[in-house]
Chains A and B, each alone.
Chain A
Amino acid sequence: MRRTLILLAAMAGLAAHPALAERQGFLETVHRHQTLALTTPDNGDLNPYAVVVAPVSAGKVQAGDVLISNFNNISNLQGTGTTIVDYNPTTKKTVQFAQVPQSLAQCPGGVGLTTAMTMLKSGWVIVGSFPSKDGTTTTRGEGCLLVLDATGKLVATWAGPTISGPWGNMAVADHGDHATLFVSMAGFGVPGPRVLDPATHYPVVLHKATILRLEVTVPEGKPPVLTSQTVVADGLSQRADLDNFVFGPTGLALGDDDTLYATNGLENTVIAIDHASTRTTSGGIGRTVTHDGLLAWPLAMAWTPEKHLLVTNGKNGQVVEIDPASGKQIYAQWIDNDQAQSPPGNGDLFGLAMLPDGSGFYYVTDDMNTLMKATR
């Protein structure tokens, strides 16, 4: 009966009303989808990726502000975006928070800001770079993680053999003076998008992507210092793509029981890595929590108040809600139905972040270069 109601509601273009029955999850409470702001900064950068809600007020940022990174430059070349914008929900103004130099000797290959971004309670912003010269992985660099202060000033970079294409949205356990960051690395070994597998006629699939755990300490008044790093997952699938730059592990979310969940986009799965904060060895490709079904190239992830996971789809404009405990896919909602893409919303979604009060979530639409808010 409930399924019928949901289907009827979908046909009518309405979300199922929670009063119809006991709620199954979070998405059925979401009815409003509002465009908040353009994410294009002064230099014309395009393709918003990461969405992060500021946990504190520091520097130029107010607590609750939304930081958004851009992956493309004004010529729409992927892996060349250098800006982070700051949307203030109170004033409804968007300002440029940071612009990082395109060419940066300390960041192999330069700068193209990805979905791997976080703002720590200490005010430091850490963002990934997976750079390219020509908008494809043909000219990719290994990239780095960039550390910015709360005024948007770049103060340090983290690069090295464990870092290659820091890509997906970060999972963070932030304790103030120290923090644990999880970042997916999608770059290892990825050739250009025209290197095709003769069997499939699509770019070759590699299994070298990793998830890296970074332990940092934050000395008072000083930039965070990396104290240790551990590969907690490896052997994950990745491949280049002409339209989407790269497919690889993207969304990360850390559970209360120290299970790290990750979207493995190319395999169309959500995987789990147990004991993510404490393990000293790689968990390999993890265990599969759920696969296929409503998932269609799953990207960024966020926790709902019910401890479900919201997952944005890359191949359509849906966000999918899953219960990671049971592995059940509960339902999905169209949060971008742009019919200019086929299927609707294809390639539009990426970053995702819950509102601080848990009443909804922020997301970006790459086709319109806008920040959106979905609420009750």
Chain B
Amino acid sequence: MRQIDRSPPRTRRLRRAIHRCGALCALLGAGVAPALAAPPPIMTVVTDDNGKPTDDPLAFLHNWRREGALLGDWWHVRKDLAHHGITVSVQETSEVLGNVTGGMHKSFDYDGLTQAVVQVNSQRAFGYYGGTFNVSALQIHGLNLSQRNLGSLQTASGIEADRATRLWEVWYDQKLLPEDRLDLRIGQQSLDQEWMVSSNALLFVNTMFGWPMLPSADLPGGGPAYPLSTPGVRVRWRPVNALAIQLGAFSGSPFNAANAAAQASGADPQVLDGSGTSFPIYHHGTLLLAELQLTTPALGGMVAPDARPPLAATWRLGVWYDSEQFADVRYGGDGLPLADPASDGSQRLHRGNLGVYGVVDKMLWRSSRDPNRTLNLFGRAMATPFADRNQISASANLGLVLKDPFPYRTDDSLGLGMGFTRVSPDLAGFDGDTALFSGTYNPRRTSETFVEATYQRQVTPWLQIQPDMQFVFNPGGGVANPQTGTTRIGNELVVGVRANILL
């Protein structure tokens, strides 16, 4: 929308006149009407009948291009809540994704997610500094393309989940110590929000750029990450500005059942806690995490006048340990391969599970002409030493994000990323056993790789449109296609578009 310049013309002649207006302006300031064709009165005493607010209920529609949210301030509801330190955010993510090659079927599916987050700031609400109470809920709708069509390990969309309306996170966060050097969070948390995070990877659509593949496959129920969560405590300590140490202790599984029992039943973890309200509190084990976060530039860091333009970087090193019991992926309790018809089907259980990881986000380049334009690299790798109890033994992500990719598109991002995951040797052994004992086509799964190209365009402050393309090599790690029974699932080209709408 172009706008005609509404400002009155200014000329040097006028400016010279203004320079001379001193005494005149004084008179005008005193309320005397100007006698000359000079600048209009400059001082006005304010009366009480000004500034009545408009009550047009559709005012936000008149300014839909610039409002921060589609529905503005919700007919003053936001403003009323803000008075009490309460903020409410509701975002709809909707997408259509489909595979045009490969997969078990070919189709385009719609899926969507509505997230609602309510936060209360303790300073605004109670005059007490540093506290935030947060509660969030999810409404998940549409179909799950990865499950229905793709059969991939690294599912195509981070919002795909069982259709449900569920509570997500409920926690209280308190900043402590001078300079907020300690931060404590207690309550039900979704660990993908604060752990193992690559900030640049969050641009992408594929699930594994958020909560990684390895814990998605190896932790109980895929771990306490979207759409699941679990009670626990997180502490973050920042002893010096560049370094933070984050420690967490959470319930071992995001549902009340023991992990081994859940594995034995093959139950869907999202069904085991269908509403997010089971609050499993340390019944069967504990998930412990530790993460070291190194950031540059650090707060307070000095910059010499001839220093090269600073290129930001964040490194994270972490480890997690879950004390639950985990069933062996190849052998049963009787020592026979699970695929052996002679097996009694009992579980061979292992106590505990462990993973280590590293994450890097690094700015590689910044335009000298437009500082908003930056090229950023991200990488993340995770591995577990236990092949016997895990389906996935390693996973990794790598990618590049170009921010502000085109002139005057400062809020857009262009990304190219990939994900790799290796099936554990023991699960591959189980595949071999199955082929041997059943005599059916059952190839040993090895690894799966995908690449994704995406462009996120900020259309308005409340709307992002994101065309996306993914190509999956060796879907499912090379798993047999259940539709044919004699071939692997073919490589998949997935295309689609996502929209993020802040309501």
CA distance A283 to B4 in the complex (A): 30
State the majority secondary structure of interface residues on B.
loop
B18: Cβ under 8 A from any A Cβ:
yes
B301: A residues at CB distance < 8 A: 9-11, 13-15, 333-334, 337
Docked Cα-Cα span, A342 to B178, in Å, equals: 27
B295 touches A337 (CB 8 A): yes
The answer to whether the Cβ of B53 comes within 8 Å of any Cβ in the partner chain is yes
Q: State which of B7, B22, B299 has its C-beta within 8 Å of the C-beta of A190.
A: B7
Query: A6: CB under 8 A from chain B?
Result: yes
Q: Is the CB of A343 within 8 A of B21?
A: no
Given A161-B40, A200-B407: A227 and B179 interface contact (C-beta under 8 Å) = no
Q: A37-B129, A161-B14 are in contact. Are A318 and B7 (CB under 8 A)?
A: no
B340 within 8 A of A: no
Partner of B22, one of A32, A42, A43, A229: A229
Would A156 and B45 count as touching, CB distance under 8 A? Answer: yes
- Cβ distance B57 to chain A, nearest Cβ, rounded Å: 15
Indicate with 1 or 0, residue by residue over A23-39, a CB within 8 angstroms of chain B CB atoms.
00001101111110110
Contact B7 A3 (CB under 8 A): no
- CB neighbours of A316 from chain B (8 A): 310, 371
Is B296 on the interface with A (CB-CB < 8 A)? yes
Q: Which residues of B contact A103 (CB under 8 A)?
A: 50-54
- Interface check A280, CB cutoff 8 A: yes
Instruction: Write out, one digit per residue, whether chain A residues 101-145 have a CB within 8 A of any chain B CB (1) or not (0).
Output: 111111000010000000000000000000001111011101000
Q: Which of A339-356 contact B (CB under 8 A)?
A: 339-340, 342-344, 346
A151 in the interface (beta carbon within 8 A) = no
In angstroms, Cα B63 to Cα A54, docked, is 37
- Which residues of B are found within 8 Å of A104, using beta-carbon distances? 46, 50-51
Nearest residue in B to A280 (C-beta to C-beta)? B19
In angstroms, how far is the closest chain A Cβ from the Cβ of B168?
A: 21
Q: Is A194 an interface residue (CB 8 A)?
A: yes
Distance between Cα atoms of A320 and B166 in the complex (Å) = 49
CA distance A116 to B281 in the complex (A): 54
Q: Is the CB of B374 within 8 A of A161?
A: no
In the complex, the answer to whether A157 meets B44 with C-beta atoms within 8 Å is yes
How far does the alpha carbon of A76 sit from the alpha carbon of B243 in the complex, in Å? 32
Residues of B near A138 (CB, < 8 A) are 1, 3
Report B260 CB to chain A, min CB distance, Å: 40
| Chain B residues with CB under 8 A of A340 | 199
> Is B176 interfacial (CB-CB < 8 Å)?
no
- A74 and B18 in contact (CB under 8 A), knowing A157-B44, A294-B303, A337-B295? no
* Alpha-carbon gap, A158 to B25, bound state (A): 11
| Stretch of A201-209, A249-257, A258-266, A303-311 on the interface side | A201-209
> Digit string of A1-26 for contact with B (CB within 8 Å is 1, else 0)?
00100110111111110000000000
Q: Which of B44, B376, B410 has the most CB of A within 10 A?
A: B44
Q: Which residues of B contact A12 (CB under 8 A)?
A: 240, 242, 298
Complex: A40 Cα to B85 Cα, angstroms: 9
Q: Which of A168-176, A270-278, A324-332 is the interface stretch?
A: A324-332
Q: Which residues in window 296-355 of B have CB below 8 A to A?
A: 296-307, 309-310, 312, 314
B314 / chain A contacts, CB cutoff of 8 Å: 339
Selected interface stretch from B75-83, B112-120, B391-399, B464-472: B75-83
Supply 17 A–B pairs (Cβ within 8 Å), ascending by A. A7-B304, A13-B295, A13-B299, A14-B240, A14-B242, A34-B178, A38-B124, A103-B51, A135-B63, A189-B5, A189-B7, A189-B10, A191-B3, A231-B15, A282-B15, A339-B199, A339-B314
Known A161-B39, A231-B15; 9 more pairs at CB < 8 Å = A10-B301, A15-B300, A33-B241, A74-B73, A134-B63, A157-B43, A161-B14, A161-B18, A337-B299
Q: Chain A residues in contact with chain B, CB under 8 A?
A: 3, 6-7, 9-16, 27-28, 30-35, 37-38, 40, 42-44, 73-77, 92-94, 100-106, 111, 133-136, 138-140, 142, 154-164, 187-192, 194-196, 200-203, 208, 210, 215, 225-231, 234, 242-243, 280-282, 293-294, 296-297, 315-316, 318, 328-337, 339-340, 342-344, 346
